[in-house]
Structure 1
Amino acid sequence: MEAFEQKLYLELRKSRTELMMQLSNSKGSPLVKPLIEEELRDINSAIEKLENGTFGRCEISGELLPHELLQMVPTLKTVEDCGKLEHYLCKPLF
């Protein structure tokens, strides 16, 4: 793993731990629980991709995803997701 991926891997693992703690909190909102579970699935998927060397590739086409977007949203899965995200950015990335 390169330095960026190593740092990201550690941050994702920390986020996973924090989300798991929130889920185990019996006082947590039942309305928020499904959102936390979905984020946890996305984080676990990104961690798995980092571990097996497929991080940063579109799950459909295999194309490389923009590094700049992965730095902001490491749980991106497809080129289509990138297009949706770019729609909400105020400044162009490239």
Structure 2
Amino acid sequence: MNTDEEKFFSELCVMKKELKESLNIHSGSQKIKHLIIEELLDVELSMDKLTNGEYGICENCGEPMPLGVLEMIPTLKSMKDIEQVEGFYRKQIYT
């Protein structure tokens, strides 16, 4: 792994730990638990991709995704995900 990949892997490890802790806190709410589990699966998938050298590659078109966007949301899977996230921002996050 290169330096950027190590940084992403470290951040994903922290996210994974926090999500697992959140599962214990929100064990009574099935809706919240379901969302946490989905996010946990995304984190684990991203970690697997880092290990296999597939991280940061769009699942739809096979092109590399922008590093700056992955730094904001390290579990993104595709360029389409970036477009959906942009809907929550007042300005474009990727050009």
**The two structures share one fold, judged by TM-score above 0.5:** yes
The corresponding residue for 1:33 is 33
**Structure 2: stretches of 5+ with no match in the other structure:** none
Distance 1:84 1:18 in 2: 25
Distance 1:27 1:38 in 2: 15
Alignment of 1:25-64 (within 5 A): 25=25, 27-64=27-64
Aligned-pair Cα RMSD in Å: 1.8
The answer as to 2:5 corresponding to 1:5 is yes
Identity of aligned residues (%): 38
77-86 or 27-36, larger mean C-alpha shift: 27-36
Structure 2-normalised TM-score? 0.84
Structure 1-normalised TM-score? 0.85
Structure 1 stretches (4+) deviating beyond 3 angstroms?
24-28, 91-94
3-state SS, counterpart of residue 57 of structure 1: coil
Distance 1:70 1:26 in 2: 27
Distance 1:48 1:12 in 2: 11
**Is contact 2:26–2:32 with CA below 8 Å preserved after alignment?**
no
